[in-house]
Structures are given as C-alpha cells and as structure tokens.
Amino acid sequence: MATGGKSNEEIDYKSRIWVLDQKLDQPMDAEAEKLRNKYEDKKFSRLLLMQLAFQSLGVVYGDLGTSPLYVFYNTFPDGIEDPEDLIGALSLIIYSLTLIPLLKYVFIVCRANDNGQGGTFALYSLLCRHAKVKTIPNQDHTDEQLTTYSRSTFNDKSFAGKTKRWLEEHPFRKNALLVLVLVGSSMVIGDGILTPAISVLSAVQGIKLDHPKMSSDVVVLVAVVILVGLFSMQHHGLDRVSWLFAPIVLLWFLLIGGIGLFNIWKYDTGVLKAISPVYIYRYFRRGGRDSWLSLGGIMLSITGTEALFADLSHFPVPSIQIAFTTVVFPCLLFAYSGQAAYLMKNTSHVADAFYSSIPDSIYWPVLLVATAAAVVASQATICATFSLIKQALALDCFPRVKIVHTSKRFLNHIYIPDINWILMILCVSVTAGFKNQSQIGNASGTAVVIVMLVTTLLMILVMLLIWRCHWILVLIFTGLSLVVEITYFSSVLCKVNQGGWVPLVIALAFFIIMYVWHYGTKKRYEFEVHSKVSLAWILGLGPSLGLVRVPGIGLVYTELARGVPHIFSHFITNLPAIHSVVVFVCVKFLPVHTVPEGERFLVRRIGPINFRMFRCVVRYGYKDLHKRDESFEKKLFEVLHTFVRLESMMDGCSDSDDYSICDQETEQPNDVPLNHPSNTLPLNMDGTISSGDSIVSLNDHMHNNTAIESSGLLSNPAEVNELEFLGVCRDAGVVHILGNTEILARRDSKFFKKIAIDHIYAFLRKICRKNSAALNVPHESLLNVGQVIHV
C-alpha cells in the first residue's frame, strides 16, 4: 500500500486477479474482455475499498475509540464545580478531534506514508531517500535504481534544494534529525506500554459500579489477568481471531454513538452549543490555571492518533479516511456529547461518567463489549510497537532481536518475543503500581503529545523536500499544529510528578539503547570503511592470494558494499589456506519499505577471472525479513551462475569492480532473440532468466547441456569451464566466514564515549542475538574470525 495514488493501484491489482479467475469460464473477444475487465475493476475496487475500511476499524481505531472510557474523569479528577465547564471541555474535545486526528493525520500525515508504511521511521526513510541525511552512509548508487526507491529531483536553487543542502552540510544536523526520530520512536514504545494499561483498567472499572463494595485491588487484579493473557497469546498469532476485531470495534462505536444520542435527547440537548469555540474562551477565562491543567485530561481524547499512522501499513489511505469520516468521528462526537449531557444533570458521577450514563438494561452487554474493545485497542498498540522495533532494527537503530512471522498470509503480522515480555512486565507494573486511571492517563498524555510534536517537525521537512509545498501552506500547517500541541504539552508537563514521569523514564531507557546501538554500529562501519583492503594489494598476491586454494566456496560476510573488508586480510594472514572461490556477501537494509525479490541480489567480480572472487550484495527493505531457509543459499548461487553467463556476453567487463547485473538491466524489444549479445536477461528470483516474452529456466540449463548450447547462452568454453568449476566447488562444501569483532574505545576517548562503547554497547552485544543467528548462518558450516578494533 502506498500513498493515495498507489493505493488505488493495489486495489486494481487485486481486482485484476479476481477478474482473471472469472474470465476463464467462457471465451470472449479481446475488446469485450477489455471492457468487462475495466468495468469489473471499478466495481470490485469500490467493494474492496469498503471492505478494507470496515477491517481498518479493528486494527487502526481501537485505541482512539476506547478514549471515552476515561477522558472526563481525567479532565475533572477533583469533581465538577460549574456545569458550564462541561460545555467548555466538550468544545475543546470537539475541536481537538477535528484539528488533530481528522485534519492533520487522516487527511495530511497519512499521505506522507512510505509506500503504505507509517510511523516516525517511515518518515525518516522518506527523508533519507531525498537527502543524504543517513548517518551510516552504506548506500550505493545502484540502490537508487530500485523500483521501490522512489524519490523526486529538484533544482538546487529552489527552496527544497536549499533545505536539502542545509540538512546535508553539517553532521550535527543529521544527528539531530536522528535524535528527533529516536525520541518519537521511544515515546511510541512508551505509549505501547501505557495504552493497554489504561484501556483495560478503565474497561473493567465498570465492575465496581455494579458492586460498590468491591475492592479496587480486585479490579486491578482482573485487569492484570487480562493483560497477562493478552501478552501470553501473542506468539500464537491472531489469524484465527483477527476477523473478530472489526465487528467488535464497529459494535463498540455504534453502541457509544447510540448511547450518546440517547443521553443528549434524554438529559440536555443544550450541550450541542459546544460546537461554538466561544465556550473554549469562556472555559479558560472562568477556570484560569485549573482549566489549563485540565488539558492533560482532554488530551486523552486524541490518544491513539499516532497508532493510526503507525498501523497504516495494513490498509490504503482512502479506506482509513472513509472509516474515520463515516463511523469513528461522528460516533466519538455523539459519545462525548452524550456523556456531557448526562453529567450536566449528574455532576457527582464524573468518576464513572461512562458507565453511569449507560441505561441499566444494556449495562452488562456494554461492559463486555468495552472489555473486548479495550483488548483489541491494546493489541493494535502492541502490533504497532512490534512494527516500529522491526523498522528500527532494519535501520541499525536497535539491537538484534528475534522476529517471528505469525501469519503466512500477512507479512505485517510479526511477534518479537523479547520485546513482548518486556512490554508485559512494564505494563503489568504500571497497572498494579498506579491502580487508578488518573495517573496512568497523565503518563499516556505525556507520551502522546511528544510523539505528535515529533511528527509535526518531521512533516515540515516532508512538505518542503518531498511535497514541495508553498511556504505559506507549510507555515499554516506548522502554526496550527504547534499551537494545539505545545498548549497540550505545557499542560502535561505540570503533571510530571503525577504519573507523567513514567513515559519519560521508559522512553529515556529505550532512547539510550537505540542511540548507543546506532552509535556503536556507525563507529564499526567507519572502521571497516577506513581499514578496507585495497584491490592493488589483492592483485599483488596473485591468483593464489599467496595461500593454498582448497576446494570449496567461502562466503565472507561483510558490511561493506564495496571493497575488500579488513577481516579478510586478517583471515589470510593468520591461516595458510583459502577456498578456491571466495564470495563477499553484504546483507544490508535500505531506507525503503521493501526490495522486490527480482532486484534483491547484486553481483560483481573482484579482480581478474582467475582470482575466482566475487561480491554479492543482498538488499532488503525494513519491511522484508531475512528468513532461515535453504532457498537463500540456492538463490545466491543461481545469481552467481547467471552473472557468469551474462558476463561472457559483455565485452570489457570481466575485470571491472563496477560491473553488475543491475547495470545490464535495460529495456529490450520483445523480438530480440534470447542468445542476442545485447539481450539484458533481467534476473527473476524464481530461478529464471526472462527476455521479452521468453522464459528460460536456470535449472533446465544447468541439467541439460543440449538446451544450454541450443539457446546460445553458453557459447564461450571458458564460461562453461567456470560454471563447472563453481559447481565442483559448491559440491566440495560451503563455509560461512563471519567476523567476531570486539569493539573498544580508544584510550584517549572522552568519558561518555568510553561509557557508551565499553559498557553499554558491549553489554547490548552480549545480550542480543549473535550475528550468525541474525544472518541465519547454519552453525555446522560457520567459521568465526576474531579481532579487536579500537574506535
């Protein structure tokens, strides 16, 4: 899924699949088939869009929909002194919902997605593609040729060009941008801990209303049991029950909207005058500082807005907009207005405003639906946290952790065991520690408003660099957003000592982890770049590299996309032998959501042919997963064989380090024969070479020499010999060579650098997954090469 334009392409693509299945029933002429396809595409795309809008309710809007459970209690924790304050508070809620979730996020921020991926890291990836702001410069010019590496060009003298140049000029600005992203991401993780706590606790709080003598500890215990059960079920995946999420949340919205309308009609229709912003002015004039402090509670009416953007990857933007404008927004307005109407006549019931306003006849059904909706909202937040951690991991901003895909159908359904148990422990601790909604609400409000501020600042750069909006439009967006968010921020800061410190402490811990890990990874990469071995030194050793070349293939893993890594020189100077074929494998993640499998592998040759040395760069997006399967190694060797074939058809490229398969992939006419020297033969990851309308299987070629010769692919005897040699070496055995590097700070380093590298980074490396596990290297063929570097 992508921006507004690309989401329609997604829908059209799915609809074409459906039409293809249908049209097989009976033959038709080409023109009739084309017209039918066009008609069916439009019809089916509308139906699919409505279906996705319905499904988005269960994934995206659960958190935002459960806010009516606790907003008025957190706004008036000490009771309501003047009923007119309810009108002012309701007016603030109405305009907050209009300005932030509706206008800012649903219609503006959601359009700034990275091919359907949302969140702070998705915005950062967009910026990294349009400006050289990535602090680890491991990108190659060939990466920009990827079909998913979408970027726009602009004049250097334009305002966008000047902004780009200003960002790139100084490393401090790049680092400041990264810090901003990490702060926002840390707060999202903090919100992932607080949202389940406040949602579930507020939902089960209704039990006490029907049983006044029940102890608060019993309510907390019930909430803790539900939370433990929720986190414990994560590893099973949600495919079997996820279909229930949308109906539950839709039922919840219809219930709170219907109850709200009933209460407006029954108690006080006068609350509808809150649509006038005049009552906001009167509210602040009458209450002064107390009204200003109450903004921390009103802020909770828009919690879940960031989760809306973070969970965007599941649905196209139009479906999000349809669901919000037709169901979520009106139902929330009716729900809050209904509670305000009830409280106008029952000001003493503010502590249980939601459950007290429910008609007695449907009390228990609503309680059950509220609890189910709170669980769904918590699940959405947990999934958003998992998704964010995966994005951070791909961008070298988080220690290596195990990622498990829980669904064969949906790539976005993931489970991270280590993070799951950490979230559970912290969430249960917050719930059992505070025991009430007020302090947890203060904590949640602090996290949410900081994330919104970060998103606003990142959106300024997106609007200038990528959208190239006029500076007046950028100024209007920035002004409106910051006025609302800074006002809320100033209020929640005053409640730091009333629970607001919790997300700050949690976010600080995760920020230190992410920043130190990124800093250590950056220093290690800089060392690799500066200490890489020159090609001249390799050539000086001769084809044998000054060693005994033993049968077999050595896969040397490195972080360098160019050049020979230092670990290789360390290896050959300490051991007397090296494999007959050496392949330097660089697995790297790019600031794109995904890399198509047909463009994933990039092969080059290092040195002359008789050196038998290659480089293979394997590229992934932050949405992709480097899975443990035998097909990875198989695909790698298929690409290597294909490279040798293609190389023989290119003149003057055999000794070039810049030569690659991607350099050859230019568009060719369909009538060019397969054995034509100019045929580009784009590589597909299903083990085929395609040319125009022709498809030739690599496996067929490798097992049938007659077919190979007749196709003209192997007309060069030297090429045949090299392919046979590669096959013999592969049969002899494949060894995976990894560097087991210990990183230490230099003696003359500053105190904080020594703390970061020698203690925090070293500790994180010990407790995180080993590099061999992250790369899915088979243990039985692993060879570690140890070294110590000082940075």
637-653: per-residue pLDDT in tens?
A: 888 888 888 877 664 44
Q: What DSSP string runs through 514-533?
A: HHHHHHHHHHHHHHHHHTPB
Banded pLDDT at 41 (limits 50, 70, 90)? low
Convert 430-452 to b/e letters by CB count within 10 Å (16 or more is b): bbbebebbbbbbbbbbbbbbbbb
Side chain identity at residue 33, one-letter code: E
Side chain identity at residue 378, one-letter code: S
Report residue 124 as tokens: 């950062």
Q: Which residues make beta-bridge pairs with 554?
A: 582, 735
Which of these, 227, 235, 201, 240, lies nearest to 70 by C-alpha position?
Answer: 201
Convert 639-666 to b/e letters by CB count within 10 Å (16 or more is b): bbbbbbbbbbbeeebeeeeebbbbbbbe
Describe the crossing of helices 329-345 and 84-97 by its angle, rounded to 10 degrees. 170
pTM beyond cutoff 0.75: yes
Predicted pLDDT of residue 720: 60
Banded pLDDT at 469 (limits 50, 70, 90)? confident
Banded pLDDT at 161 (limits 50, 70, 90)? confident
Phi-psi region of 515 (alpha: psi -120 to 50; beta: other; left: phi over 0): alpha
Question: pLDDT: is 236 or 24 the higher one?
Answer: 236
Which of these, 451, 481, 450, lies nearest to 463 by C-alpha position?
Answer: 481
Predicted pLDDT of residue 684: 35
CATH architecture of 82-135+160-521: Up-down Bundle (1.20)
Which of these, 53, 69, 60, 56, lies nearest to 369 by C-alpha position?
Answer: 69
Q: What DSSP string runs through 472-494?
A: HHHHHHHHHHHHHHHHHHHHHHT
Average pLDDT for the chain: 79
Q: What is the mean pLDDT of residues 149-177?
A: 82
Q: Which residues make beta-bridge pairs with 588?
A: 619
Residues 344, 270 contacting (CB under 8 angstroms): yes
**Residue ranges per structural domain of the chain:** 82-135+160-521, 533-648+718-790
Give the whole-number percent of the chain exceeding pLDDT 90.
Answer: 25
**CA-based end-to-end distance of the chain:** 41
C-alpha 113/C-alpha 1 separation (Å) is: 9
Side-chain-side CA neighbours of 429 within 13 Å: the count stands at: 11
Is pLDDT of 9 > 50?
Answer: no
Residues 323, 132 contacting (CB under 8 angstroms): no
Burial of 638 (0-12, 13-18, 19+ CB in 10 A): buried
For the ranges 166-175, 299-308, 782-791, the lowest mean pLDDT is seen at 782-791
Residues 6+ apart with CB under 8 A from 42: none
C-alpha 502/C-alpha 443 separation (Å) is: 6
Q: Regarding beta strands 613-621 and 683-684, do their DSSP bridges make them parallel or antiparallel, or are they unpaired?
A: unpaired
